[in-house]
Amino acid sequence: MTKAVMAALVSLALLAAPAMAADMPKAFKKCKVCHGIPGTGKGKVGPDLATTKYTLEQVTKQVHNGSKWDGKPPKQEKYAKKKMPKQKGLSDADIKAIYDYIQASK
């Protein structure tokens, strides 16, 4: 790959990052505290949500119930001892917006 092509790719990536942050749903700001912006790998406590394989239904259960819910898939080993608390004040519409944002970051 030539230096010019590499520079162009880096420029596009840098331009896309602010756009993702600008498109962030207001409700995601609560998630961002622990998980960081999806795709950056900079979560402080929880995993980068761009790596999640959860369905919308599973994300909804995780948000409403925290780490304790029936049928929960196994955690990533790195996070096995961490527990996510229930998140209050988020509607199903908020969670759908968060889920769509996460999916768009993949």
Print the domain residue range for 47: 25-104
Higher-confidence residue of 79 and 101: namely 101
End-to-end CA distance of the chain: 24
pLDDT at 85 over 90: yes
Task: Tell whether 59 is covered by a domain.
Answer: yes
User: Could you tell me how far CA 100 lies from the centroid of its own chain?
Assistant: 10
Q: State how far Cα 50 lies from the chain centre.
A: 5
**CATH code at position 32:** 1.10.760
Give me the residue label for tokens 């909804």: 60
Q: Which residue has the higher pLDDT, 13 or 32?
A: 32
Spatial separation of the C-alpha atoms in residues 40 and 71, rounded to whole Å: 28
| Structural domain total, the chain | 1
Residue 15 lies in a domain: no
